[in-house]
A and B are shown apart, each in its own frame.
Chain A
Amino acid sequence: MKRSKYITLVCLLVLGLTSCKKWLDVNTDPDNPNNQSVPIANKLSWIQNYWKEPAGVTNMRTSCISGVIYAIAASQNTLSTTWQATNANSTTPYQAFFVGVSSNITDLYNSAQKQGAYHYMAAANVFHALGYMEMLDLYGEMPYTEAGTGIPSPKPDDGKTIFNGCMARLNEAISLFGKTQEAGVPSLSAGDILNNGDVNKWLKLCWGLKARYMLKLSKKAEFNADSVLYCLSKGPQSNADNTVEQNFNNSAATDFLEGDPISANGNYDFAGYGSNQRIAEYYYNLLTNIRGAGVGDPRMPKIVPASMANIQLNASTGKVASFTWLRSIGVNSYNATDKNPAPAGFPNRLVKGGATSIATVTVTSTPTSVVYPFTTSTAIADHPNFVASLLAAGKVPKNGSNMNDFADSGNYVRVTYKPGSVYIASTNYIQAGDTVYVNLRSNSLATTTVAQASNDVTWYPNLAAYNAGVVASTGSFQIRPVSDMEILMYHEMCFIKAEVYMRKGDAANAYTAYRAGIQAHLDYMQTKLTQWKGSFDKTSSGIANPDMNPMDQTAINTYLASNAVAQGAGTLTMSDIMLQKYIAMGVTIENWNDMRRFNFSAGNVGSFGVVYPGYQRGPLFTGQAQLTGSSPTDPRYWIRRWALPPTYEIQYNFINTTSLNPHATDPNIWSMPIWWDCATDAEYYGYLKP
């Protein structure tokens, strides 16, 4: 009896516990999959698509440093103009990569490994290398071996560890791509947005990336030109081998972290989304007058945006009846000498108005008068120039009772803008001429204010402009929502080859590669522009966006035959190679990487002379606390890295961060060379000493 009581008791206990366990089994979120249950194909698609966020913001902000883009926004302006670099710039690329991508790479690799999906493991490795190498380029040191795994406060690694780690991942990827996946696992094409599962293209991408990364070591004794050439021989051999992420303007959905359009190009998300970016004069000069040849680059009108000007509206339809395309000029912030025409009658526009003062245009639908006061002593002095510039622009002064285009009372100048005019709605005369700085803006489904069609990506400032068909920016080749995100391009391979041969003293091969690089880039652009013609070049007035149509073949021929391009191995310089590469790379981080390798315009690397002539601290420089070097040959004269994000990394990981690099929070961390930017390990580790 007693025994049976115990047995019953035990039975009840077991029963109770089992049903209890079951009742408590509710800790799996029924609405959201977890990182163990997501198919690897979906993970890969996520990683590939999300990568454009960290890459896009990095491209845009490093292009502010390299002289490609001028930015008004306070924080990016510090990179493009004052060089008083602020930590505010550091945040987005870091968060976008680490939170948006890195943990997914870890999960993809592990899940793929469990299944024997070798190609997915390999693809995870490639994005590992792309991501961490870019973080290394920016920040020099950060968590690497412990990163991306959810470990709290991972320990940071030095630049050398990160670099070697990325190279090892690429080597592993090459071997994994060579393997056949286990039966039953998804084929790579199921999740591969970039190369549609083409393993050969992936292999070329791996070798091409290896070449790009090995080139970073050019300051070091261990730099091996032949190894780079070997990698190049296995990398992309033509534009057909380019790895790009094609982008589309087909969704208004936005991402979870930065709120950017999911379908659009990453460069667009940061450089073309708002009205804050314009072409910088450094880039502009290379596109208009490289090698002092005075020959226009056929790519220039595709890269430098234009707006409509001198617009006459049709009185009955209200549509644009006649206009001219006003091609933007570059904003000068690098050089005391402004090579541009003087808008509104005075040169050095930024010096006149301040580092962030360039105003954005609007379009008026009714006749609008703006009265500019000339009452301060500076303004009185500028008055004659201002009036002269109006006359030079063909404006007709008041004549008796006929108001005409403008009236000058001496202390006040009233300018009347006709309906449809693209103008600056400010009474500050300094800004009146800012229409010559066309911004790099495009519209996408997610950002348009006027609900324009998806095949029209030009920018209209308001509904009136849209209805009239007044285009305020035609956009820029790499910055449109529908532009390719360039992951690895054949033209870059050519320029690397040219540089490496040049370093070997083989000018003939360098010259061949140099010409091939220019040609490849022209071809790539032409192909893309041809694709756009008739499909994405729409505007609301029905006039095709000319900047999305192919380049003029005659202009290409003229350019290639002119002195703008070296016409033989004998006259080819390293600067020629690097500047052509600069034009072709445009809005990518690689220009800043290259500039660091050549110490910008210091001219003290090898016997190559000044590789980036004219790139100088600008007249509005205020970065003396950040860039403490006193002369261009001092490494610490230039922006050589970014501070780690003060909140997202340093704040939460202060002890680990400062124990590896005690200077991580110093204001002049911005000028500390990173590992590959140092000739020796001793130099690098010297910087990390307390």
Chain B
Amino acid sequence: MRKLLRFMFLAYSLLLTGYFAQAQDRTITGHVTSADNLPVAGATVTVKGTQRSTTTDANGNFKISAKKGDVLQFTYVGMQAKEATVGNGSSIALELSSGENALGEVVVTALGIRKEQKALGYSVTQLNAQELMKNKNTNIVNSLAGKVPGVNVTQFSGAPGAGASITIRGATSTSETRQNQPLFVVDGIIYDNSTTVTGNTGTDGLSRSNTTYSNRVMDINPEDIETLSVLKGAAAAALYGARAADGVIVITTKKGAEGRVTVNVTSKVSTSWADKLPEAQTVFGPGSISSNGVVNTDSYNSWGPKIPSDSTIYNNIGNFFRHGLIYDNNVNVSGGSKNGSFYLSGSNFKQTGIVPGTGYDKTTFRFNGEQKYGRLTLNATTAYSVATTDRTLTSAGLYGSGVGSMQELYNWPQTYDIRNYINPNGTQHRIYSATITDLANDVDNPFWIINQDKLTSKTNRFTGGINGNFKITDWWDVTGRLGYDQYTTNDNTFIAPGSAVIAKYQNGRLSKDQVNYTYITTTVMTNFHKRISDFDTHLLLGTTSDDFNTNVQNLWGWNFSTPGTVSLNSIDLANKQFSDNTIRRRLVGVYGEVGVSYKDLIYLTATGRNDWSSTLPVANQSYFYPSVSGSFVFTQLLPKNNILSFGKLRGSWARVGKDANAYATNTYENPPVTILAGNGSYVGIGNQWQAGNATLIPEIQTSWEVGGEFRFLNGRIGVDYTYYHSQTANQIGSPRLAQSGGFIFSTLNAGTVINKGMEVALTGKIVSQKNFGWDATLNFSYNRGSLGAFIPGVQYFYPTDVQFGTIKAASIPNGGPFLGIIGQPFLREVDSKGIEISNGRYQIDPKTGFYKLNTNLPVVGNREPRYIGGFNNTFRYKNLSVNFLLDVRIGGDVFNGTEYFMVVNGLSKKTLLNDRQSVTLTGVSSVTGADTSVTYNAGQNYTIGTTTYAGTSMIYQYWQNYASNSSNFITKVNWLKLRSVSLAYDFTSMFKKQGVIKGLSATATGTNLLTWTNYKGMDPEVSVAGGTGGSGSTGIDYLGVPAVASFTFGVNLKF
């Protein structure tokens, strides 16, 4: 296949060479500086209309051959591009000015191709190193929050090493096994960003919810990043193929520049603390109430009698958390000569979490080098990282409240000191050991878990790429790339002997998971670039192959023979098991792009790609998708003016195909079970709970966007506007469906996800003077995700079947919200037609004595924010700069599951109403419709139906009834967050007289210091199960590790 393509390119190029002749050139030299009169090293100088280019050296000097009348283009990432026409002279001096979204800025687009922003028919946002480092986060994904319109970042939890999920312009896939996160491409190589959750509650004993799992992009050292481009729409990303439907984030790492070797050292120390903790009532002690009023005080619920005034009350939740610490050290060395450059870096990031015993430690190394041999340029990038995470307690997670979640912390009776977790003889101190005789029926004290159990994760990752670029002529080049990404994750879970697990495991168990990910990619592409009078044309043809291989092995065993020897070797063979799973996925793509522009007025680009994916049935393996985009710089037609200095309209239409997950075409079997029966030995093999599908077709996303960019007052104010619409049809998924189908999940094509929205970015250089400057960026976006048609007969699409209290995450077919919430609100009074009156009074059911629930699963909320935005400000006064980033969200429902949980167990302060002596229900009878008001007093008995209940039981039941009304815990959340504020001082000017130190600066940064919100729970920025695909569990706040705020101090030294 690829051979053939190469042959075709060759043929095409030979054909072209015949038509165009070479021109005569002379050498032009020059000097490029920035606004502060410093040389700009590494700026690209191109002879317009050709591929002839060079870069400036460390002193900002360059040499290039050009002829009179040629236009030289000067571009440098993050700075405004400029042009200069070659006149009679042989030297050119030029000043480049910096600024985000500057007019004519060059951005990195698909396949690493740099293009002028004005040429693009779609929206791309690029962030440079400086911007990313303003509020550095070891997870680069978190650094994007609030900075890019249309991008939604959700931090999984406040646990160290916890990942974050990122979605661009809304999620496009409904199913929990499908990714909705953008593709990450680092230096041209697809960089795996999965959040691999190994093991399970069945084999590992602790809920390994992915709220404490890293997303693998965290393996990148953020300091190594030169630029980060967010390609939002399908048109921008179409050339990347299958996974580009969710957008692409293109990262380019740093390179060395020609000149003296530079050493850069950065050190940071940071402290973090729990932002906000749930509050527990301290009036009533442990107990549960039965219907006749009998109280059982041996209970983890807090519905018992009043706590006597002389009792000690423990602040269990407060006593649990501590301050976290981060030490972050980076060093990099770079340099280069005329024909080669290098960049070498090392970093260590060491964090201890707010939950004792948790931590994250990441060490990274990177070497990037480049060498030129005449027309051939070779560069290599390599990175190695080792990341370890110590985790213990997790959020309850989308998959329920497994053992080891934060649940018990938010449940522990306040009269017992949760810190008292171990007996002198080393066994677990159990507060109800008398009545909960069976250890297996008890729960683990959270302190037992953090001190006795051990959960660790270690990832060693190597990524590398070799790029070769050969300039055949100045208008034609060929690029070849070989990329490799490999990591091994080792997860260990040790459940200590004496834990509250089923009998078999009470003597301890150990589970070891190893994930081996290997990815090899090859790319060959060729570029033709030709200017024919006023028309600038280019053609790109390429082919790529991707080979993904993941192997997951699990070893586990239980019952250690020798106490203290925690090893699989210390386990009898009969108590050991292992499993082995290999996932292979391969893809071949052939793509092309053709573009033409007229003067600097109109730009048109069309792309096409055909993929062959191994994951689809053979008959459906091949699929093609095209895109077209265009941009019209209408200000070219207007007379030059200072009011509207630049104006551009753009539009694009694209289609992207998305393949299936590996092995989705077959139904697979469970591991064999040996059954020793009376007649002998048999081996049983049965189906797994997922059904395959041999007739899958690719998922197809069709999208379009229109927008414009406008610069006013010589570019001091800029507006960028985009409206987009995308529709992802033939959704491949393996949704949970009725189990009568014989499976829990069935793979199929069904449903359409529609996203539409708008993005606005305003940039302003409000003050721009020598000693004082104020730059501000305001961005603002919304997305409306909805589910189109779905499987006939299926009312809602649920990403999972686990509920939190009475609510469920669901997507609502036929135009309903993608991020819907299904629940059971109280029924309200009905009008004469039997229709519920909105905001009418609640119905009281005389059969139960309480408010009546609507059991018909109505939609009770939409978790998608109405608007999100960011306001980023930088003030500069001489050497001091202050930056603050405000993050805004308006609307979007959040379910406060933690409060729900604490109402149910009686720890919520809400339940102190009337000192638990009485409750009153008012509304209408669900039978007669008559006005009804009932009061239940603690001292009385009540007969409902034929049963008599004690008043205390009725009050208890009132609160259970209150808890079952999902609407009581749903808030339409608005927030304004001071995401970060940082202060930096540059001491460089103090070192002018000597030659060693080139720069010194210090920074102080606070993150999440202030949040103004109407949300009453811990933190509205929540996702209980992290990066779960589909509509996931964003907006569901359920027993999580609290979010953290932090303060960081750092110094940066350059010499």
Q: Which residues of A contact B (CB under 8 A)?
A: 9, 12-13, 16-17, 19-21, 23-36, 38-39, 41-43, 45-50, 94-95, 98-104, 106-107, 142-143, 146-156, 189, 191-193, 196, 245-246, 248, 250-253, 255-257, 259, 262-263, 274-275, 351, 353-357, 359-362, 425-428, 431, 446-449, 451, 461-462, 620-622, 624-625, 645, 647-649, 651-656, 665, 667
B1 to chain A, nearest CB (A): 4
- The distance from the CB of B687 to the nearest CB of chain A, in whole angstroms, is 5
Residues of A near B640 (CB, < 8 A) are none
* 19 A/B residue pairs, CB under 8 Å, sorted by A: A16-B2, A20-B612, A27-B614, A32-B668, A45-B684, A47-B686, A95-B739, A95-B744, A103-B687, A106-B742, A107-B687, A146-B741, A193-B679, A248-B678, A263-B675, A426-B434, A620-B291, A649-B738, A652-B736
Which of B1, B433, B506, B618 contacts A16 (CB under 8 A)?
B1
Q: Report yes or no: A653 in contact with B742, Cβ–Cβ below 8 A.
A: no
CB atoms of A43 and B741 under 8 A apart: no
Complex CA distance for A262 and B504, rounded to whole angstroms: 14
Q: Which of B438, B613, B793 contacts A155 (CB 8 A)?
A: B793
Judge whether B666 and A153 touch: CB under 8 Å.
no
Contact of A251 among B4, B668, B674, B742 (CB under 8 A): B674
**CB proximity of B413 to chain A, nearest CB, Å:** 17
Q: How far is the CB of B73 from chain A (nearest CB, A)?
A: 39
Contacts A29-B666, A153-B794 known; list 20 others, CB within 8 Å.
A27-B663, A29-B582, A43-B684, A49-B682, A94-B740, A98-B742, A102-B742, A143-B738, A149-B741, A152-B738, A154-B738, A251-B674, A251-B676, A256-B686, A263-B676, A359-B435, A425-B435, A461-B437, A624-B947, A652-B737
B686 to chain A, nearest CB (A): 4
Q: How far is the CA of A189 from the CA of B736 in the complex (A)?
A: 37
Instruction: Assess whether B584 is in contact with A357, with CB atoms less than 8 Å apart.
Output: no
Report the Cα distance A49→B673, complex, angstroms.
Answer: 9
Measured CA separation A426–B436 after assembly (Å): 9
Q: Which residues of A contact B615 (CB under 8 A)?
A: 27
Given known pairs A104-B686, A648-B801, the reply for A143 and B748 (CB within 8 Å) is no
For residue B621, CB closer than 8 A to chain A, the reply is yes
Give every chain A residue within 8 A of B4 (Cβ-Cβ): 9, 12-13, 16
Where the two chains meet, the residues of B that have a C-beta atom closer than 8 Å to any C-beta of A are: 1-4, 7, 202, 290-292, 294, 296, 298, 433-435, 437-441, 502-504, 506, 545, 559, 574-575, 580-582, 584-588, 612-616, 618, 621, 662-663, 665-679, 682-689, 691-693, 735-744, 746, 748, 750, 791-796, 798, 801, 803, 808, 847-848, 855-857, 944-947
Closest A residue by C-beta to B800:
A647
Partner of A35, one of B559, B574, B671, B687: B687
Q: Are B684 and A32 in contact (CB under 8 A)?
A: no
Q: Is A24 a contact partner of B683 (Cβ separation < 8 A)?
A: no
Interface core residue of A34, A252, A667 (most chain B CB under 10 Å): A34
A451 to B559, CA, bound (A): 10
8 residue pairs, one from A and one from B, having the closest CB atoms? A103-B742, A46-B684, A354-B290, A150-B691, A653-B738, A16-B1, A46-B686, A143-B740
A113 to B101, CA, bound (A): 68
- Report the separation of the CA atoms of residues A648 and B670 in the bound assembly, to the nearest whole angstrom: 21
Known: A34-B669, A46-B685, A50-B684. A147 touches B675 (CB 8 A): no
Question: Which residues on A sit within 8 Å (CB–CB) of B686?
Answer: 43, 46-47, 50, 100-101, 104, 256
The residue on B at minimum CB distance from A355 is B290
- Contact residues in A for B435 (Cβ distance below 8 Å): 359, 425-426, 431
- Nearest A residue (CB) for B744: A99
* Neighbouring B residues of A622 by C-beta, 8 Å: 291, 945, 947
A23 lies within 8 A of B588 (CB): yes
Q: What is the predominant secondary structure among interface residues of chain A facing chain B?
A: loop
Bound state CA distance, A353 and B434, in angstroms?
Answer: 17
B residues within 8 A CB of A154? 738, 740-741
A104 to B742 CA separation, bound complex (whole angstroms)? 8
Whole-angstrom distance between the alpha carbons of A36 and B666 in the complex?
A: 9
A246:B793 contact, CB within 8 angstroms: no
CB distance from B504 to the nearest CB of A (A): 6
Contact B202 A259 (CB under 8 A): yes
C-alpha gap A245/B504 in the complex (Å): 25
Q: In the bound complex, how far is the Cα of B673 from the Cα of A43, in angstroms?
A: 11
A150 to B669, CA, bound (A): 14
Q: Does the CB pair A99–B689 fall under 8 Å?
A: yes
A104 to B670, CA, bound (A): 11
Tell me the complex Cα distance, A193–B678, Å. 8
Q: How near does chain B come to A134, taking the closest CB pair, in angstroms?
A: 14
A647 to chain B: closest residue by CB: B801
Contact of B677 among A193, A353, A354, A647 (CB under 8 A): A193
Chain A residues in 8 Å Cβ range of B679:
189, 192-193, 196
**In this complex, what residue of B is CB-closest to A37?**
B669
Nearest CB of A to B324, in Å? 36
Most buried by A among B621, B678, B738, B801: B738
Distance A106 CA – B545 CA, assembled complex (angstroms): 39
Contacts of A21 in B (CB 8 A): 618
Measured between C-beta atoms, what is the minimum distance from B983 to chain A in Å? 52
User: A446 contacts B504, CB within 8 Å?
Assistant: yes
Q: Which residues of B lie under 8 Å from residue A189 when comparing CB positions? A: 679
In the complex, chain A residues whose CB is within 8 Å of the CB of B691: 103, 150
A residues in contact with B750, CB < 8 Å: 152
In-complex Cβ contact of B503 among A246, A256, A431, A449 (8 A): A449
A651 near B682 with CB under 8 A, answer no
Contact across chains for B503 and A656 when beta carbons are under 8 A apart: no
Complex CA–CA separation, A654 to B808 (angstroms): 15
Chain B residues positioned under 8 Å from A99 (CB to CB): 689, 739, 742-744
Pairwise interchain contact A252-B574, C-beta atoms closer than 8 A = yes
Residues of A within 8 A of B585 (CB): 26
Q: Compute how far the CA of A333 lies from the CA of B409 in the bound complex, rounded to whole angstroms.
A: 36
For B683, the chain A residues whose CB sits under 8 A away are 42, 45
A-side contacts of B740, CB under 8 Å: 94, 98, 102, 142-143, 147-148, 154, 156, 649, 653
The distance from the CB of A107 to the nearest CB of chain B, in whole angstroms, is 7
Nearest B residue to A104 via CB reads B686
**B794–A150 touching, CB < 8 Å:** no
Contact A654 B685 (CB under 8 A): no
CA distance A448 to B506 in the complex (A): 10
Distance in angstroms from A395 CB to nearest chain B CB is 20
> Known interface pairs A46-B673, A357-B294. Does A103 touch B503 (Cβ–Cβ under 8 Å)?
no
**For residue A262, which residues in chain B have a CB less than 8 angstroms away from its CB?**
673, 675
For B792, B794, B848, B856, the residue with the greatest tally of chain A CB atoms inside 10 Å of its CB is B794
CA distance A440 to B615 in the complex (A): 51
> Chain A contacts of B616 at CB under 8 A?
27
- Tell me the complex Cα distance, A2–B457, Å: 62
A191→B675 CA distance, assembly (Å): 11
Q: How far is the CA of A635 from the CA of B742 in the complex (A)?
A: 32
A38 touches B434 (CB 8 A): no
Asked whether A150 lies within 8 Å of B667 as measured between CB atoms, the reply is: yes
Which residue of the partner chain, among B3, B290, B433, B685, contacts A33 with CB atoms under 8 Å? B685
Does the CB pair A45–B675 fall under 8 Å? yes
Contact A103-B434, Cβ < 8 Å, known A354-B290, A653-B793: no
Measured in the bound complex, the distance between the Cα atoms of B675 and A647 in whole Å is 32
Q: Is the CB of A24 within 8 A of B676?
A: no
Task: Specify which chain A residues have a CB less than 8 angstroms from the CB of B744 in the assembled complex.
Answer: 95, 99
Chain A residues whose C-beta falls within 8 Å of the C-beta of B292 in the assembled complex:
351, 354
Contact B687 A426 (CB under 8 A): no
Knowing A354-B292, A652-B737, the reply to whether A257 touches B685 (Cβ < 8 A) is: no
Smallest beta-carbon distance A41→chain B, Å: 8
Q: Chain B residues with Cβ under 8 A from A50's Cβ?
A: 684, 686
Q: Contacts of B1 on A, CB cut-off 8 Å?
A: 16-17, 19-20
The CA of A665 and the CA of B824, in the complex, are separated in Å by 13
Nearest chain A CB to B530 CB, angstrom units? 25
With A103-B742, A622-B291 in contact, is A24–B621 under 8 Å at CB? yes
Chain A residue at minimal CB-CB distance from B676: A250
**Which A residue sits closest to B738, measured CB to CB?**
A653
Residues of B within 8 A of A625 (CB): 847-848
